[in-house]
Structure 1
């Protein structure tokens, strides 16, 4: 997302953030257009509309080509000839392959490879149901203490696919709410900022039941800004073919966070 103008009010910046989120989702490559997640097998994986294809397209050629997974590399070999090395999302932006209205690319999860299949014309078939955000609430923009843990903690983070992902945590964000001290453990920490996955007492009622994501600027001077007004729904709120992490028990909040994105009306 592009940076906000610093001369705008917090409410105006929040409104622009909501508009950018809507534009990202309601686009040909938005999450609602994801129509398949197919786990690959080492060796040859046939792609096409034929019944014998592991990666089966809704229509098009019976055999579009082969995805060949050998060791740490994967290549695309179209039926018409030629070989193309594909980059997975673990290596940066994955290499897309397109056939008509469909596009696929490779993702890597805990040593496994999968194809994500996207319909670039999904909007004509099932228009986006829209996105709702609560009005900007200054009280939910919280400056938390960024504390270093005495010893690193390894969390076993579940995903919607039923797998567990080990995450090593060295810091936590600590703040007060209604007279109680609350801590959140980050899923990722880097130069671009801090990423949290959390759920709260409003999850399932007010907001998406599996929890929400929150990205924050890099900590400064022992503080990190938790702007819950920018808490947003994970991809699995818009498609059943995502691989979202779920909130670890450490990040289950006992109160409702009445800020940020609301539950998606469209479901899936």
Structure 2
């Protein structure tokens, strides 16, 4: 009888384990993103997309898309209204200009600071790096992608394009997402980070 009970318990544990699928991902960033998207309390996905969600589609991690950039701070820039995908306007300022080399070319991108973030606990040093590149509209979302950064102590910053992600409005139009300024266009294919979202 004890053996039968033990077998039933083991069978139950195995079947439960089979229903709980592991979080997919090859890097900490990929694991974090897939975990957030799988969590109904955090996910931007619509309920029908969440039901079929297995994991986001990432480019294979490529260390050549991790670059060291020089930050030229622009402390006197004025706040402006950055357009979004809705009627909302996001109050932003250019915090500085990032200069870096990627695939043998030199590029510059504006990095932005949001007024709302300055008063949000834990995000006082948050910087927003939106960008466009040659993959948009084909391999990646047509409107460009974002990278989250933090204000450095000095003037050197690491940019990891493998952590580039889509605006939430890609997954659900209820979200209001800043539109990437055309000035932040990279004349190159950035095959790193999250790919375009294809609904099941």
Shorter-chain TM-score range: 0.7 to 0.9
Q: Is the 8 A contact 1:232 1:261 kept in 2?
A: yes
Q: RMSD between aligned alpha carbons? A: 2.6
Deviations 1:170-205 (A, max 9, x none): 311111234543111123276444221111111111
SS of residue matched to 1:175 = strand
CA distance in 2, matches of 1:183, 1:197: 12
CA distance in 1, matches of 2:84, 2:49: 31
Unaligned segments of structure 2, at least 5 residues: 1-24, 115-122
Q: TM-score, normalised by structure 1?
A: 0.55
Distance 1:14 1:194, change over 3 A: farther
CA distance in 2, matches of 1:257, 1:20: 21
Which one of 39, 44, 55 corresponds to residue 31 of structure 1?
A: 44
Q: TM-score, normalised by structure 2?
A: 0.72
- Structure 1 residue 156 displacement after superposition: 4.5
Which one of 25, 33, 45 corresponds to residue 21 of structure 1?
A: 33
Q: Is the 8 A contact 1:130 1:265 kept in 2?
A: no
Greater relative contact order (Cα 8 A, min sep 6): structure 1 or 2?
Answer: 2
Aligned pairs, number: 167
Q: Does 1:136 align with 2:61?
A: yes
Deviations 1:240-259 (A, max 9, x none): 11100010112122211110
CA distance in 2, matches of 1:23, 1:139: 26
Task: Write 1 or 2 for the structure with the bigger share of strand.
Answer: 1
Q: Is the 8 A contact 1:200 1:257 kept in 2?
A: yes
Task: Write 1 or 2 for the structure with the bigger share of helix.
Answer: 2
Unaligned segments of structure 1, at least 5 residues: 1-12, 34-121
